[in-house]
Structure 1
């Protein structure tokens, strides 16, 4: 019988970027794609468009969120630091052309993979750390990571 991994049921999404395991996350929002299209009308056809023409696919940015941890949060910071250094070396972005990432959904016991999405040309868009309050806020210190990408289909 398999035993549950240490990240538990609250972190059912595992994320890896270019093989770097960024750990478990409690939520993954924005996993969607819109199929953009254009209606084509012709004279003499009055009950609707003559054709629906495909234009492009549009992927929303993905936002990951979790409680900060001493073992997994530094991995994200290191990846962001490495990316920012590449961007500073070449401000045109030529050095950092995006990367690949995988988001793995685990079952309720966190022992079996339910689904895996492979993202292409991934860029970090935003990282947010916790709001800190020394006057007694009992909230959990959360971090979020927003990734933009060119698709998972």
Structure 2
């Protein structure tokens, strides 16, 4: 029998949790979009025939998409949080007045130790999707939550 390396064994059993402003939104099955892209501009400088000058432009962060099977406790927490967000948006003059929200994604190994964490600045929900309901099928009811943010670096 072949023995897996510690790195491979840990990678196979990773778990993560997401919280927003201290509200634990629970564990999720998948997390996609945790990335950063460094945009730049290439400028042809007069008299420079050797290379194109590269100037930094902006940093862009993708939306984070979370997915999991629905559960009574964790799905209810997400719904309460979303209800609070909507209520907050209606009570202010603009979404910026709603106040900054901070989300944290924590990655755990099989033993429950934190391997890495990311703190997302100014987080807003952009989409929640519930399951497609089919009484004749045997699919798991899956929910997804998409979060937009202004960065984690």
* TM-score, normalising length: structure 2: 0.87
Shift of 1:131: 0.5
Q: 1:87 to 1:19 in 2, by over 3 A?
A: same
- For 1:111, the equivalent position in structure 2 comes to 112
- Distance in 2 of aligned mates of 1:58 and 1:123: 16
Paired residues of 1:14 and 1:22 also in contact (CA < 8 A): yes
- Distance in 2 of aligned mates of 1:74 and 1:21: 11
Task: Select the structure that is richer in helix.
Answer: 2
Task: Say if 2:70 is the partner of 1:68.
Answer: yes
Aligned residues: 142
Q: 1:70 to 1:110 in 2, by over 3 A?
A: farther
Task: Give the RMSD, CA atoms, in angstroms.
Answer: 1.7
* TM-score, normalising length: structure 1: 0.87
- Distance in 2 of aligned mates of 1:149 and 1:45: 39
Paired residues of 2:14 and 2:107 also in contact (CA < 8 A): no
Paired residues of 1:33 and 1:60 also in contact (CA < 8 A): yes
Task: Say if 2:104 is the partner of 1:102.
Answer: yes
Unaligned runs of 5+ in 2: 1-11
Match of 2:28 among 25, 28, 37: 25
Q: For 1:73, what is the secondary structure of its paired residue? A: helix
Unaligned runs of 5+ in 1: 1-8
Paired residues of 1:12 and 1:110 also in contact (CA < 8 A): no
After superposing on structure 2, the runs of 4+ consecutive aligned residues of structure 1 that deviate more than 3 Å are: none
Paired residues of 1:124 and 1:148 also in contact (CA < 8 A): yes
- For 1:139, the equivalent position in structure 2 comes to 139
